[in-house]
Structures are given as C-alpha cells and as structure tokens.
Amino acid sequence: MNKIELQTARLKLRLVKDSDLTAVHNLHLLPETDEFNTLGIPENLNETKSVINAWVIDNQKQETENYIFAIVLKTNNNFLGLIALKLGNPKYSRGEVWYKLHSNYWGNGFGTEALNRILDFGFKELKLHKIEAGCAVDNIGSIKVLEKVGMRREGRKRQVLPLKSGWSDNFEYAIIETDKRIL
C-alpha cells in the first residue's frame, strides 16, 4: 500500500481513504463545485462510496496510475478538497491533473498551493516530462489556478464536456519539466 503524503506550508495532501466518504460526498453535493464537473451530483451516499472505493483501490496498488489525494489543512486536518494526478502511457512520460476544492476555501490560494506541490511530485519524484490539465472555458477560477502555476494554454477542444448547462468547450493546459514554474 502506498503511504504517500505530500506537504506544503499550509497543506497536507494524503491519499484518499474510506473515512473521507462523508467529506467527499458533501463536496460533490455542492452546486457551485458541480457547475464545471462532468461527474454530476451524486444521488446518494452509495454512489459516492463506489467512486471512493475505486480511488482507494487505485491508491493501494504498488504501481498505481492514479494518485488521488485529499487536501487537508495542516493545522486542524479540515478537508478542503481533492487533487489527483493520473499517469498516462509510460512511453510519453505524461500525467494529467484535476482538482476540486470546497467553495468555502476558494480564493485563499489553496488550489495553487496544492497544484504546485502535485507538479513537484510529478516532475521530481515521478520523473514526468509533461503534466496536462483541462477545464471548461467558463471556469475562470480554475483557469487562474492553472495559469498561476505556470501552465500554458495549448488549445481548445470544442463541445467535449457534458455539463448540466449543456456542452462546453474545454481549454487544454500543460507544463513541461523545463518550463519556468511560478512558486
């Protein structure tokens, strides 16, 4: 079982565990965090439990392709949200990040801080060459986080995200190991 825990000045990023069920469920219930999410609001706790179970199984693999972390405050272990790094084909040395923060914690730099730490983990510890991310074109908060850490917009995919509001275009962002990082 992986025992990875990443730290920043204010945060701990620890692998998701079964005991995170209620916090993750409450996060997924928020309409404001669901606005740009294709997962949708879960119908019940069991739906969230099936998602968490898959994440926990992935996190327990010795050679995982998905690192799904809970973001918690160092001071009190309050759950702030989720951040993940999904590895692609090893030949291409790429990964893709996604994150979701509880709206109570928006605007405090936690997303930027967590993403910077995931980029460090991907480049320094996993030796990735490129880390990518995508976000809906109207998701201004996520765009700001991606650009703050030095990710560059590489393109736009048309109508690929089935959101509640309808089909959305998606901006494609990426950073490579030699790009200047904003820490």
On whether residue 39 sits in a domain, the answer given is: yes
Torsion angles phi and psi, residue 43, rounded to 5: -75, -30
In this structure, what CATH number is given to the domain that contains residue 56? 3.40.630.30
Q: pLDDT, tens digit, for every residue of 144-176? A: 999 999 999 999 999 998 888 899 999 999 999
Torsion angles phi and psi, residue 95, rounded to 5: -140, 165
Whether the per-residue pLDDT at 183 is higher than 80: the answer is: no
Number of structural domains the chain divides into: 1
On whether residue 177 sits in a domain, the answer given is: no
On whether residue 172 sits in a domain, the answer given is: no
DSSP assigned state of 180:
P
Which structural domain range is residue 92 located in?
A: 5-133
On whether residue 34 sits in a domain, the answer given is: yes
Q: pLDDT, tens digit, for every residue of 47-71? A: 888 888 888 887 777 677 899 999 9
On whether residue 67 sits in a domain, the answer given is: yes
On whether residue 165 sits in a domain, the answer given is: no
Split at pLDDT 50, 70, 90, the class of 40 is confident
Would strands 94-101 and 79-87 be described as parallel, antiparallel, or unpaired?
A: antiparallel
User: In whole angstroms, what is the distance from residue 82 CA to residue 150 CA?
Assistant: 20
Whether the per-residue pLDDT at 85 is higher than 90: the answer is: yes
What mean pLDDT do residues 128-137 have?
96
What mean pLDDT do residues 36-52 have?
83
